[in-house]
Amino acid sequence: MMKRVSFSGMLLRHAPLIVVELVLLVSFIGDTAGGNPESAFMAMGLLQVSLSPLVIEAIARVRIPLYLQLLYAVLIFTGGYMGSYLRFYDVWQPWDTIVHFYSGIMIALWTDYILRAVMRKHRFTMPRWLHAIVITSFSALVAMLWEIGEFAADQMTGSRAQIDNYDTMIDMITGTLSALIVAVLVVLWPRGRRIDQGELSNRSTR
């Protein structure tokens, strides 16, 4: 039986994203009123993407912890809003590398949480080294798929998301490296001090 997800708890967990969504909504209204359709379209797209955790919770009746939604909100704001909408990627090239490094951390932590949830549900465990390999491998896969998506978009729309092969490889390496750091920390974390952040977040927002 699916657990009942309270609306107030769902909103509380979604609070970091609500702040980002308000910024995106104001930007969308301003661009629409100012006759800037391209920026308005980008703001609306980011707004829709930011709503995905709320939609997942409502449809799947699962609880996405506050800390994971906070990580996601930071990625939407720094990568989508600051990087693309405000054109930080064009103004300061290292910003792209920083965002990719951060995204690897976020994806690794999401992967770690999902793995722990699956192990609890099906009552099995896996060696820490294998847990770390899964985290790193999945994060590397996401980094690769992202670059494939950028390449496809460049070919279809004529955009310049990928500057050259060096830029592509740096993005993939930094995203995988940060995930590897998280994986190593998972392996080294003392067994007696293992804390399931998801459970703590869920209890505090019921």
Cα separation, 142 vs 140, in Å, equals 5
61 versus 81: the higher-pLDDT residue is 81
Range 155-177 average pLDDT: 85
What per-residue confidence (pLDDT) applies to 163? 79
Containing 21, the helix (H) or strand (E) segment is helix 15-33
Does any domain span residue 101?
Answer: yes
What per-residue confidence (pLDDT) applies to 201? 42
What per-residue confidence (pLDDT) applies to 61? 79
What per-residue confidence (pLDDT) applies to 162? 77
Does any domain span residue 31?
Answer: no
User: What DSSP letter does each residue of 114-163 carry, written as one string?
Assistant: HHHHHHHHHT----HHHHHHHHHHHHHHHHHHHHHHHHHHHHHH---S--
Does any domain span residue 42?
Answer: no
Range 115-138 average pLDDT: 91
The CA-atom distances, in angstroms, between 87 and each of 7, 24, 103, 122 are 36, 15, 18, 45
C-alpha of 50 from chain center: 10
Does any domain span residue 171?
Answer: yes
Cα separation, 110 vs 4, in Å, equals 22
Record the pTM: 0.83
Tally the domains of the chain.
1
What per-residue confidence (pLDDT) applies to 70? 96
Range 169-191 average pLDDT: 90
Does any domain span residue 18?
Answer: no
| Chain segment 140-160, per-residue pLDDT in tens | 999 999 889 888 877 887 767
Total residues found in the chain within this entry: 206
Q: Closest by alpha carbon to 112, among 192, 16, 182, 27?
A: 182
Residue for token digits 């104001």? 26
Does any domain span residue 195?
Answer: yes
Does any domain span residue 148?
Answer: yes
Looking at the predicted structure, is the pLDDT value of residue 161 above 80?
no
The phi-psi region of residue 99 (left if phi > 0; otherwise alpha if psi is between -120 and 50; otherwise beta) is alpha
The parent domain of residue 119 ranges over 93-204
Range 198-206 average pLDDT: 43
Instruction: With beta carbons less than 8 A apart as the criterion, state whether 135 and 186 touch.
Output: yes
Range 123-134 average pLDDT: 91
| Chain segment 77-101, per-residue pLDDT in tens | 999 999 989 999 889 989 999 999 9
Does any domain span residue 196?
Answer: yes
- pLDDT confidence band for 1 (50 / 70 / 90): very low
